[in-house]
């Protein structure tokens, strides 16, 4: 057997008054708190109103969670949820999709930008990307703690044996698999670091949307490539040339390219988008 890491971590962090508190939920909470701190710090550096951050925090939490849940239900498992619509609200049972969260977040922050900042939504995202990247890294850590969304078998020395995963036991029992959750954590951290570095260069920050565009390419360009080594999330993906994650990444990659090109051509576009 190739060298491997046996991943035998319980997804339950603690039991509180008879209720399980799972690592996944804690990772979401920690990610949002880190995001709140980083964005508020950035706003203070630019002498922006404190109340902007509080409103932004509410918009971000609601849009991210609602969008991620709807994304899973609509993109990945609509056959089931169309017959059981009440189950869409059962978010505690699991089932979140990052693409849905991103799409809903963009839509929500367009509204926020119109009502609050009166500036382009990409001006806002340029200041949020480091926080978003670290928050997403926390969420991928939660996926690892759940022993879910792993990759195909590998003979690399860092392959994981997800012994608590029923899916792994049925498909790959005994075979180390790519810990794609960790790979995704890494590109989220890289995107956050690149955006943070760009924020320290005023000439780059003057080009509205440039930081966001570069970050979208890192997030979803890497996500597109990683999907080739990930286990299918739904059965029908096994018959697809490009899986759902890749199909949903393409529009966001194109958006990133669009933002980069327009930011280079016109640093101060007079638009909401």
Instruction: Tell me the two tokens of residue 221.
Output: 């360009």
pLDDT score recorded for residue 71: 85
Give the whole-angstrom CA distance, residue 9 versus residue 6. Answer: 9
Beta bridge partner(s), residue 225: none
pLDDT score recorded for residue 2: 57
pLDDT score recorded for residue 10: 95
Q: What angle do CA 192, 177, 135 make, to 5 degrees?
A: 20
Secondary structure class of 158 (helix, strand, coil): coil
pLDDT score recorded for residue 4: 87
- Answer whether 125's CB lies under 8 Å from 204's CB: no
20-27: long-range contacts (C-beta < 8 A, 24 or more apart)? 22/145, 22/146, 23/141, 23/142, 23/145, 23/146, 24/142, 24/143, 24/145, 24/146, 25/142, 26/142, 27/138, 27/139, 27/141, 27/142, 27/145
With 0-12 / 13-18 / 19 or more C-beta atoms within 10 angstroms meaning exposed / middle / buried, residue 110 is middle
pLDDT score recorded for residue 29: 94
pLDDT score recorded for residue 226: 94
What's the Cα-to-Cα distance from 246 to each of 217, 224, 233, rounded to whole Å? 13, 5, 12
Per-residue pLDDT of the chain (273 residues; tens, 9 = 90+): 557 899 999 999 998 888 888 999 999 999 999 999 999 999 999 999 988 999 999 999 999 999 989 988 888 888 888 888 888 887 777 778 888 889 999 999 999 999 999 999 999 999 999 999 999 999 999 999 999 999 999 999 999 999 999 999 999 988 999 999 999 999 999 999 999 999 999 999 999 999 999 999 999 999 999 999 988 777 776 677 888 889 989 999 999 999 999 999 876 665 555
Instruction: Enumerate the domain spans of the chain.
Output: 5-265
Secondary structure class of 93 (helix, strand, coil): helix
Instruction: Tell me the two tokens of residue 149.
Output: 């969304």
How many angstroms separate the first and last alpha carbons of the chain?
52
């Amino acid at each position: 057997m190739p060298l491997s890491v046996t991943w035998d971590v319980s997804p339950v962090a603690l039991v509180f008054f008879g209720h399980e508190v799972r690592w996944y939920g804690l990772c979401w909470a920690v990610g949002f708190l880190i995001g709140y701190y980083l964005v508020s710090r950035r706003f203070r550096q630019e002498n922006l109103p404190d109340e902007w951050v509080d409103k932004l925090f509410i918009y971000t939490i609601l849009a991210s969670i609602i969008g991620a849940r709807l994304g899973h239900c609509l993109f990945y498992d609509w056959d089931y949820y169309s017959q059981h619509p009440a189950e869409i609200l059962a978010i505690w049972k699991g089932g979140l999709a990052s693409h849905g969260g991103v799409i809903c977040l963009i839509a929500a922050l367009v509204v926020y930008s119109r009502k609050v900042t009166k500036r382009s939504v990409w001006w806002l995202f340029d200041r949020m990307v480091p926080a978003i990247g670290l928050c997403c890294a926390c969420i991928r850590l939660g996926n690892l703690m759940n022993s879910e969304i792993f990759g195909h078998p590998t003979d690399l020395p860092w392959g994981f044996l997800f012994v608590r995963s029923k899916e792994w036991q049925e498909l790959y029992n005994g075979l180390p698999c790519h810990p794609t959750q960790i790979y995704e954590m890494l590109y989220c951290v890289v995107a956050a670091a690149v955006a943070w570095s760009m924020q320290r260069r005023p000439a780059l920050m003057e080009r509205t949307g440039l930081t966001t565009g570069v970050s979208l390419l890192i997030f979803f360009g890497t996500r597109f490539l990683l999907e080739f080594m990930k286990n299918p999330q739904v059965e029908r993906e096994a018959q697809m040339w490009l899986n759902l994650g890749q199909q949903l990444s393409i529009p966001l990659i194109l958006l990133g390219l669009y933002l980069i090109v327009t930011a280079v051509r016109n640093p101060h576009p007079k638009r909401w988008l």
